[in-house]
Chain A
Amino acid sequence: MYQNERVISGSSTSVLETNKVLRNTYALLSMTLLFSAITAFIGIAMQVSSGAALISTIAGIAILWFVLPRTANSAAGIPTIFAFTGLMGLGLGPVLQYYLAINSSIVFTALGGTGVIFLGLSAYALTTKKDFSFMAGFLMVGLFVVIGASLLNIFMGIPALALAVNAAVVLIMSGFILYETSSIIHGGESNYIMATASLFLSILNLFQALLHLLSAFSGRE
């Protein structure tokens, strides 16, 4: 009897802990997305050059790799993730500026599409409670191949390869959203700052890939 009570109590503590991580992740994610939208807007308003945007992106990724893992378990993790998302938003400025100049509806369609895909996939992972941990290898190999193909295409400049890479990025980032959400539900990710960083990157990459795809298929790129 006592043992059963302890098991039930332990299980409910775990559920409470998971719900807390989920709630904190979504709260921080919405704030960081808003903050990166503001920095992207600043980038557009200040007409940041593509070189400055590249430096901003490199600085953001350096923070993600070298600073965030060291600060994620402390209060310093919050300003660090805002610095990371702010720099990534600023890095998006020239891309948004370009697409807003050729057809602003593409930007808003991509934005809305990203929101619908993220909410739909999150709702799917949360309601079915499926464990997507089996996808880790597949997603990492996919990401590695896509980065390798993008690297090749910097020098080769093949439009069809760029299109294929963007289509693959949409699918891989969709997989990462399912994987990360299921990881929070099943206790694989208990740090809401790291979970936010991972979901933020998936959303950002999904948005950029969708932007390129919509532009290419509308015949404006």
Chain B
Amino acid sequence: MNWEMIGSAALMIAMLVFIFPRMRHAVKNAPKGTFEDWKGFLIPVGAVILFIIFLIQMV
């Protein structure tokens, strides 16, 4: 284990500490999505997945 691994781990732990209160706030206060809302998210994300499969075939 070198200092770069320790540095990366420290950065990630700091990120987790920084994100945790924001995550808790978002989970408590964000509006709940309907089936239609989630469909509106899944369609573009599905297109992104297909596009990445296409890119993988290309390289």
Contact = CB atoms under 8 A, between A and B. Distances in A.
Interface residues of B, number: 40
Interface residues of A, number: 49
Dominant SS among interface residues on chain B: helix
A121 B9 contact: no
Nearest to B48: A174
Contacts of B27: 137, 140-141
A73 interface: no
Contacts of A121: 44, 48
Interface in A192-215: 210, 213-214
A116 interface: yes
A160 B30 CA distance: 32
A95 B1 CA distance: 20
Nearest to A105: B59
Contacts of A148: 16
Interface of B: 1, 3-5, 7-9, 11-16, 18-20, 22-23, 26-33, 37, 40-41, 44-45, 47-49, 51-52, 55-56, 58-59
Given A117-B51, A121-B48, A136-B26, 19 more contacts: A54-B4, A61-B14, A65-B18, A106-B59, A116-B51, A120-B51, A131-B37, A132-B40, A137-B30, A139-B26, A140-B26, A140-B27, A144-B20, A150-B12, A151-B9, A154-B12, A171-B48, A175-B41, A217-B56
